[in-house]
Every structure is written in C-alpha cells, then in structure tokens.
Amino acid sequence: MKKLLTFTAIIGIFVLGLYFYFHNIGRVQPNENEIFITSADVPEPFDGARIVQISDLLVRSESCLVLLENVVNMVNNLEPEIIVFTGNLFLPEGIQFENRVADLLSQLNASLRQIAVLGYHDLPHYELTSNVLSEADFYLLNNRSIRVFDQSPIGINVIGASPTNDRNTMDQLLEAHTLDGRFNLLLMSVPTFSAVALGYPVHAQLSGHCLATQDAISQTSPCFQFYSGTYQFADSFTLHVSPGLARFYTISGLFRQPSIDSFLLIRDRDSYLVSE
C-alpha cells in the first residue's frame, strides 16, 4: 500500500510538472517546423529561399505578447525572404493590446516581402486588424495576388483568399490569378477548398489551423480531414495546415506547444529538365 501511494505521488508530481511547464513556459516558447517544397517551377533566384508562416496568434492576454516577442526573435534568426501571416490575430479581449502587437510585428524582418490574409476572427474588427498589419509592413491580400521578385524578372506568384469565399468565389479567384509556368502559392486562413486548388497550377497552399475556424463559425469545417500537418497531392500540390500559435481549449491543446512553420523552396532540376 505504501509503495502504491509513493508511486501515485510520483505520477501526480510528474503530471503537475508537465502542466506547469506547458502552461507557464511552453506556451510562450515557440517551436519551429521545417518543411521542404520542391518544384520545377521554383525560379532560380528562389532556390533555397525561405518562407516563414505565422498563424492563429489569437491575442487574448499579456502572455500572448511574450509569445509574440519570442516568435519575432525566432523568425528573424531564420532570415526569411518572405513572411506570411495566415489569419486570426486577436480575440475580442485582446484588442486592448493592438499598439503593442503592432510594435512587435513591426520588428519582423523579411528580405523581400511580408504578406497577410485575414481569418474569421479578424472579420469583426476588420479595420483594426488591417491597420495593425499594415503598420507592421504586411501587404494584405483579400482575393488578390502579388508577384514577388528577387533579382529576376521571373518571380513567384502569391494569391490570398478571403475566409468568406465559397467554392464559386475560389474558382473565380484562382482562374483570374494563377499563372501557368510560374510558382503559385495560395494563402488562406483555413484548409478549405484544397480540392479546388488542385484544378489549377497551384503548387502549395498554406493555411491556418482548422480549430481556429471551428471556434469562430461553430461548425466542423474541414477539421475531420485536414487537422494539422503537411499533405501531398499527386506530387504537384502541397497543403500545409499550420498548428498555429494559439492554445485551443481541448485536452491536447493544454500540452501543445505553439509553432511557426518554415518552408524551404527547392528547385527540382531533374523535373525541370524533363519538362523542358
């Protein structure tokens, strides 16, 4: 009996220790996920270029500002060419921190471009979130696209989708903005409509975490199919669903470390020679 009590006490202390770490330390120390995206359509100057994705910060308290400061330091240490934000910056109780968030985001440093799309949580305070991102030098894409160049007339094409798009709107967006023979990158706050992107020359779709959308619109959305991680389709299209920075109110969410995603673009010369 005494051994059982001792064992139970040890297990209890271990569990409490884990909870303390993830609740007080792990929640403000981001993890980096590195993913390789290989394509023959990656332009030569972008071979080895790095894109860093930040998603679903959902600022609600002071601890989120500590996390954001650590995120900024980690991202800048990676020296990315492009930084993308894929939506959901504030919760309503976090709006009071708008100036501090803008100041921290303005310290991010991408050598070429900083690009953002909005998420469902951003829509109730669209103007405020847009201003914060603009002040931090993010170019906001709302059903638009932008070409990013690096010492070459052949750049990569970045398309940003609105979180309110339906299937028809996505078709119209991709029909108008994808470019044949170019590397096309789609940004969207949710992993919805990846099947639509498969019908166009889209090489990769970077999306936010589906639970952030589920919380916002109270439906399962695509969570059952693309929860989190990297999904490869037909060797030509990569869907990445970011784990995000926010902690969601689930059992696993209590022990989940916030994450940023770092993508290394690789020019597939073998495929390029074949296509030539």
The CATH code that applies to domain 2-275 is 3.60.21.10
Q: What's residue 113's pLDDT? A: 97
**214, 73 Cβ separation under 8 angstroms:** no
State which residues of the chain have pLDDT below 50: 9, 12, 14-24, 26, 215-221, 249-253, 272-276
Alpha helices in 157-252 (DSSP H): 167-177, 194-197, 210-217
Q: What's residue 274's pLDDT? A: 34
Q: What's residue 167's pLDDT? A: 93
pLDDT tens per residue, range 4-42: 555 554 554 544 444 444 444 546 899 999 999 999 999
pLDDT tens per residue, range 53-87: 999 999 999 999 999 999 999 999 999 999 999 99
CA 27 to chain centre: 17
For 63, residues 6+ apart whose C-beta sits below 8 A from its C-beta are 27, 28
Question: Cα–Cα distance between 11 and 190 in angstroms, integer?
Answer: 38
Predicted structure pTM score: 0.85
Q: What's residue 275's pLDDT? A: 31
Q: What's residue 3's pLDDT? A: 53
Q: What's residue 212's pLDDT? A: 52
Question: Cα–Cα distance between 1 and 162 in angstroms, integer?
Answer: 61
